[in-house]
Amino acid sequence: MTSPTIDLRSDTVTRPTPAMLDAMAKAPVGDDVYGEDPTVNRLEGLAAEMLGKEAAVFVPSGTMGNLISVLAHCGRGDEVILGDLAHIYLYEQGGSAALGGVHPRSVPTQPDGTLRFDDIENAIRGDNEHFPISRLLAVENTHNRCGGRALPVEYMDAAGQLAHKHGLKFHVDGARLWNAAVALNVSPDRLAKEADSLSLCLSKGLAAPVGSVVVGDKEFIRKARRMRKAVGGGMRQAGVIAAAGIVAMTEMVERLADDHANARRLAEGLNRLDGISIDPETVQTDIVIFDLDREDITPANLSAGLRGHGVLLNPIGGKRLRAVTNYHISEADIDRTIQAFGAVLEAGAQVTDKKVFTYG
């Protein structure tokens, strides 16, 4: 008998809970492009309330949430200032440039996921016909590529105030803002206080099957809703999926603390192994990014070897790999994962000595 796979590739692999499936089956629906889907309307009302904003719009993905936010804030030739490790900058096909003509200006992302205020201020353009117009500052919380670091309230407030002082809007890629709120023990609306817009995923740690939500003031959401339609995101009886999103926001936020504890346990276990380096103290939420420092085994080899033990996780470039805990991962799974790492790392050295090292 084989044991079930331990899938640590992402928190996006989470499947809907029984409560979600039940809510989906029973959801009252209507045509949401006409504004007539009661379940979508309920989800949007709830998201706006939880984030302390006037309005919200439900979208199929976090990528679309960020895209329509940037397009609603910026016109062609305007500039968005963001971090060089931001998801919007690295992993969204440059959609706001490709589709909206919005120019990205990147500044260095610090290891804790923040952007330095000096760097932001130096990137803001003066009034000169050579320059694009600086229109938007975007930050990411939690920060994916920085190992799920949670940006604290003081930083979020100060970044938003800095943007506003210079007449810029402030967007937060809050795909995992729920994780930040739980890790920092603050309510999500407190982290959102200075933000003009936020995009939050329901289908990552919160385990809904599909969907993200964008929040902001009524005028911004009116524009974002128009942009959603333009990029093909107007959905019809979307209450079927929104129902799961409501369960996600009402029942699945507090349990993220379990994912965070499991991620810390994983980091502590990995840090004890020969050839893996990670500072467990930096693991605040559900993402564990670590370096493999071994001559005899590459991240791709390690990942393939772990697959043979039923453990899935991905290399993310260079010496790095990423593991993400989630709803389906128990403390026992973490311990099994650490054992599998130990076995693969040990075999890595042995088989290399015999020159028969092959994996997948």
> Using only C-alpha atoms, what is the Rg of the chain?
21
Stretch that binds ligand PLP, among 60-68, 100-108, 163-171, 224-232 (CB under 6 A): 60-68
Told to check if 69 binds ligand PLP by CB under 6 A, we report: no
Residue 321 CB, nearest approach to ligand PLP (Å): 16
For residue 218, the 8-state DSSP code is H
The single residue listed with the structure tokens 């964008």 is: 214
Alpha carbons within 13 angstroms on the beta-carbon side of residue 57 total 31
Residues 6+ apart with CB under 8 A from 119: 107, 108
User: What is the separation of C-alpha 314 from the centre of its chain, rounded to a whole number of angstroms?
Assistant: 16
Residue 16 CB, nearest approach to ligand PLP (Å): 15
Told to check if 173 binds ligand PLP by CB under 6 A, we report: yes
Count the Cβ atoms, other than its own, within 10 Å of residue 216: 28
List the one residue from 53, 87, 135, 169 that touches ligand PLP (CB under 6 A). 87
Stretch that binds ligand PLP, among 62-70, 256-264, 273-281, 309-317 (CB under 6 A): 62-70
Told to check if 140 binds ligand PLP by CB under 6 A, we report: yes
Cβ nearer to ligand PLP, comparing 63 with 134: 63
Residue 165 CB, nearest approach to ligand PLP (Å): 26
Told to check if 63 binds ligand PLP by CB under 6 A, we report: yes
Cβ nearer to ligand PLP, comparing 201 with 253: 201
162, 121 in Cβ contact below 8 A? yes
Told to check if 61 binds ligand PLP by CB under 6 A, we report: yes
Residue 308 CB, nearest approach to ligand PLP (Å): 28
Please give the residue whose beta carbon sits closest to ligand PLP in the complex: 62
Question: At 80, phi and psi to the nearest 5?
Answer: -110, 130
- What is the three-class DSSP state of 37? coil
Told to check if 259 binds ligand PLP by CB under 6 A, we report: no
Cβ nearer to ligand PLP, comparing 83 with 269: 83
The single residue listed with the structure tokens 């790095």 is: 320
294, 319 in Cβ contact below 8 A? no
Residue 289 CB, nearest approach to ligand PLP (Å): 13
Per-residue binder mask for ligand PLP (CB under 6 A), 206-225, x = binder: ------x-------------
Told to check if 284 binds ligand PLP by CB under 6 A, we report: no
81, 105 in Cβ contact below 8 A? yes
Q: State the Cα–Cα distance between residues 24 and 204, nearest whole angstrom.
A: 18
Q: State the Cα–Cα distance between residues 109 and 123, nearest whole angstrom.
A: 13
Residue 62 CB, nearest approach to ligand PLP (Å): 2
Residue 322 CB, nearest approach to ligand PLP (Å): 11
| Contacts of range 298-301, beta carbons closer than 8 Å, 24 or more positions apart | 301/348, 301/357, 301/359
| Positions in the binding site for ligand PLP (CB under 6 A) | 61-63, 66, 87, 140, 144, 173, 175, 201, 212
